[in-house]
Amino acid sequence: MDIKDCIFCKIVRGEIPSKGVYRDDLVYAFHDINPVAPTHILIIPIKHIVGVQSLEPEDECVVGHMFYVARRIAEDLGLAPDEDLNRGYRLVFNVGRDAGQSVFHLHLHLIGGRRMSWPPG
């Protein structure tokens, strides 16, 4: 697929509206259109990367930054575990169609606000 047709590239460029929660030079974070929990945020690189399956060594910094931004957003939204390690949230990369990836622009799901079970479906 051409980058110009990528839904998340269009969101980054503002061609598709989104409810943003954070943006900097490397990443953009916004509310998932189809939330699976009270809080469901997607953190994506500004640069088009298909997914974890296509990461290159030069992408290590942006992936690390995605996790740090996820931590900060989770704290801002009151999801961070307390001193007894209660509460919490889940961070997920779906990698490939069998794992549930439907948008082929790298994205980290930040999901929280309810108890979650394991293993995932």
Residues labelled catalytic? 107
* CB atoms closer than 10 angstroms to residue 76: 11
Binding flags for ligand DGP, 56-95, as an x/- string (CB under 6 A): --------------------------------------x-
Backbone region of residue 88 per phi and psi (left: phi > 0; alpha: psi in -120 to 50; beta: other values) = left
Of 37, 63, 103, 113, the one binding ligand DGP by CB under 6 A: 103
Q: Does 18 bind ligand DGP (CB under 6 A)?
A: yes
Question: Among residues 81 and 116, whose Cβ is nearest to ligand DGP?
Answer: 116
Task: Give the whole-angstrom CA distance, residue 67 versus residue 43.
Answer: 9
Q: Does 101 bind ligand DGP (CB under 6 A)?
A: yes
Which is it for the CA torsion 30, 59, 101, 11, positive or negative?
positive
Of the candidates 100, 84, 83, 81, which has an alpha carbon nearest to the alpha carbon of residue 92?
A: 100
Provide, rounded to whole angstroms, the least separation between the CB of residue 85 and ligand DGP: 27
Provide, rounded to whole angstroms, the least separation between the CB of residue 98 and ligand DGP: 12
Cα 76 to its chain centre, rounded Å, is 16
Interface ranges with ligand DGP (CB under 6 A):
7, 16, 18, 30-34, 42, 94, 100-103
